[in-house]
Amino acid sequence: MNCNMKKILTFVCVLATFAVQAQNTGGIDAAMMETIRAGYKNTPAERAVKNALATTSIATLAVNGDNLAMCDTHFSHKVKTKGITDQKSSGRCWLFTGLNVLRAKMIAKHDLGKFEFSQNYLSFYDLLEKSNLFLQGIIDTRKSAIDDRKVEWLLKNPIGDGGQFTGVSNLITKYGVVPKSVMPETYQSNNTRNMRTILSLKLREFALTLRSAKPTEHQALKTQMLTEIYAILVKCLGVPPTSFEWTRYNSKGEKVSTATYTPQSFYSEFIGEDLENNYVMIMNDPCREYGKVYEIDYDRHVYDGENWLYINLPIERIKEIAIASIKDNTAMYFSCDVGKFFDRKKGTLDVANLDYESLFDTSFPMDKKQRVQTFASGSSHAMTLIAVDIDSNGKTTKWMVENSWGANSGYKGNLIMTDEWFNEYMFRLVAERKYVPEDVLKMLEQKPIMLPAWDPMFAPEE
Q: Quick check: is 93 catalytic?
A: yes
- In terms of Cα–Cα distance, which of 222, 159, 236, 154 is closest to 190? 236
Q: Quick check: is 24 catalytic?
A: no
Instruction: Determine the residue type at 18.
Output: F
Cα distance between residue 304 and residue 80, in whole Å: 35
DSSP state at residue 411:
B
Cα distance between residue 292 and residue 303, in whole Å: 25
Paired strand residues for 428: 283, 335
Residues 341 and 350 sit within 8 Å (Cβ to Cβ): yes
Strands 255-261 and 293-296 turn out to be unpaired
Inter-CA distances, 386 with 190, 224, 332, Å: 25, 44, 7
Please pick, among 170, 284, 403, 414, the residue that the annotation labels catalytic: 403
Please pick, among 93, 100, 157, 353, the residue that the annotation labels catalytic: 93
Cα distance between residue 112 and residue 134, in whole Å: 39
Please pick, among 170, 312, 381, 414, the residue that the annotation labels catalytic: 381
Q: Quick check: is 329 catalytic?
A: no
Residues 303 and 136 sit within 8 Å (Cβ to Cβ): yes
Cα distance between residue 372 and residue 460, in whole Å: 16
Q: Could you give the residue numbers annotated as active site?
A: 93, 381, 403
